[in-house]
Amino acid sequence: MSEENTPQAPSTTSNGTSNGAQMPHQQEKLVPSFRLAEAISAKRKAEETATTAAQQIADLQAKLEAANNQLLTTQTSHQQEMHLIEKGFNAPSVRRFFRREYQAAVSELPGDQRPGFDAWLDANREDPLYSVHFDRIAQPTATAPNAEATTAPTTATPAPAATDQLQTLIAALTGNPNAGASQPADNRAKEWTPEEIRKVKARHNGTLGPHAEEIKAYHRAKSGIK
């Protein structure tokens, strides 16, 4: 066989090409490994951030729901308190009693059959457990005339005749039994002997001092001199 008929291997160049054509596996550009690691780390951080944000949002929604429920409970309790005060129930313990009884009563009923607090309160006016409280708030209007009647006698003034008799009795007890008498009363509470008179003069520089009239009256009574 001649050399012209023998197949010839394609010639290659120094850069790995065959007859000027590039190999398929060498057409792709390789990504550096550090770039790939950075992309994976960034993706992981984004996923963690999204998970944390979702959890925070769920916690905030739960707190908001709890706050709304508490606000609704407070508003409901305030409305019930105001209604009871308007009815005349001023004692806090009685108002708490009615609110607790209402909660216990409606908790046994389906949600669509639970009456409002006002309607429930009016419907139970005659119930033996609650009627005693309704009777108490109605008592002041019924007992007011009796209280006025009992206080009236304490403000009455004494009769004129009794006042005159009292004044006469006081004057008789405090009057002077010697008033109008020309002769001084015979004072025998103390005997003015010469010894007593000397003591008086010794105390008052030889005079009778404040006892002069008393001593003179004593001696006039003793001797009968007027």
Highest-pLDDT range among 68-77, 166-175, 179-188: 68-77
In one-letter notation, the amino acid at residue 142 is A
* Residue 142 or 115, more confident: 115
Query: What pLDDT, in 10s, does the model give residues 44-66?
Result: 999 999 999 999 999 999 999 89
The structure's pTM equals 0.40
Q: Which residues, in sequence order, are CB contacts of 15 under 8 Å at separation 6+? A: none
Residue with tokens 């197949």: 7
Nearest to 211 by CA among 20, 117, 115, 219: 219
DSSP for 93-113 reads HHHHHHHHHHHHHHTTS-GGG
Angle (nearest 5°) at CA 189 between 184 and 194:
90
Dig out the tokens for 214 from the structure. 């008393």
Q: How far apart are CA 197 and CA 215, in angstroms?
A: 8
Highest-pLDDT range among 93-97, 146-150, 151-155: 93-97
Cα torsion 17, 22, 28, 34: sign: positive
Dig out the tokens for 218 from the structure. 């004593």
Q: What three-state secondary structure class fits 18?
A: strand
Cα torsion 132, 74, 119, 101: sign: negative
* Residue 109 or 5, more confident: 109
Nearest to 116 by CA among 128, 104, 102: 102
φ/ψ (deg, to 5) at 166: -65, -40
Per-residue CA distances from 150 to 53, 141, 142, 143, 188 (Å): 76, 16, 14, 11, 57
Query: What pLDDT, in 10s, does the model give residues 113-132?
Result: 889 999 999 999 888 888 98
